[in-house]
Amino acid sequence: MACNGTGQGEANLKRHLTQFALVLLLPLIFLSGFFLWLLVMHERTRIENQTLDVTQALSITIDREIYGLQRAAEIISYSNILRNGRFDILQTTVRDMAAELNIVMTIYDPEAKLLVSSDTEHISDIPLLTKADLKQVSLEKPTYVSGLMRARQDDPYYFTVLRPVIVEGRLQYYLALSMEAQRISDILNIRDLHKNWTAFVVDPD
C-alpha cells in the first residue's frame, strides 16, 4: 500500500509540474505569437508604403511622358509649315522631329486620308486612324489620347495623341503622334517593385 501511495504521489507531482510548466509557457507562447504578428504587420505596412511610393513615382513619370507628347502635338500643330500645307518639305521635317522624339508622326485630312507619315517604310505596321477616331477631337476638345491600338495581331501596341490643325478658324488637318506602349512598360521595368507585386497600366477601356 505504501508503494502504491508513493507511485500515486509521484504521478500527482508530475502532473502538477506539467501544469506548472504549461502555466509558465502559455504566456510566453502567446507573447511570442503577438510579437510575431506585430512583426508581420510592420513588414506588410513597410512594403505597402514602399509600393505606394513607387506607384506614385510611376504615375508621375508616365503622366509626364504622355503630357510631353501632348505638348509636342500642341506645339507642332501651330507650325507654319504644317498650317500652310507645305507637303513638299513637310515629309522631311516630320521625319526628323519624329526621330528626335522617338515616335511616329502622321497627318490626316478630315476624311481620314493619310497625307504624311514620318515612317513611310513601315506604314503598314502602324495602326492608322479612322474617321471615328478623328471625331474624338474638335475645336472645343482639341486633344485626344487614344487607347491602345495595333495594326495586326502580332504587332506592337501604340497609343496616339491626336490634335487638330486649325487654319483661319477651320479644321484643316489632323496631327497624330503615336508612341509605342513598350515605352511605358520600360518605365515599369526600371522601377524597384517588390517581387510579390505586379504593376499594370490600363487604358480606359
Q: What is the pLDDT of residue 135?
A: 87
pLDDT band (50, 70, 90) for residue 20: low
Mean pLDDT, range 74-87, rounded to an integer: 80
Distance of alpha carbon 175 from alpha carbon 129, whole angstroms: 11
**Is the pTM for the entire model greater than 0.85?**
no
Distance (Å, whole) CA 28 – CA 33: 8
- pLDDT digits 0-9 by tens, 156-201: 888 889 999 888 888 888 999 988 888 777 777 766 666 666 777 6
Exposed/middle/buried for residue 94 (C-beta within 10 Å: 0-12, 13-18, 19+):
buried
State yes or no: pLDDT of 5 exceeds 70: no
pLDDT band at 13 (very low <50, low <70, confident <90, very high): low
DSSP letter at 141 equals: S
Higher pLDDT, 203 or 95: 95
Residue owning grid cell 497625307: 115
Mean confidence (pLDDT) of the chain:
78
For range 135-153, the mean pLDDT: 83
Distances in Å between the Cα of 31 and the Cα atoms of 23, 24, 68, 183 are: 13, 12, 55, 50
Of 53-62, 68-77, 192-201, least confident by mean pLDDT is 192-201
Q: pLDDT digits over 82-133, tens only?
A: 777 777 777 777 788 888 878 888 889 889 998 888 887 777 888 888 888 8
What local confidence, expressed as pLDDT, does residue 136 receive?
Answer: 86
Q: What is the mean pLDDT of residues 18-29?
A: 70
For residue 76, name the pLDDT band (cuts at 50, 70, 90). Answer: confident
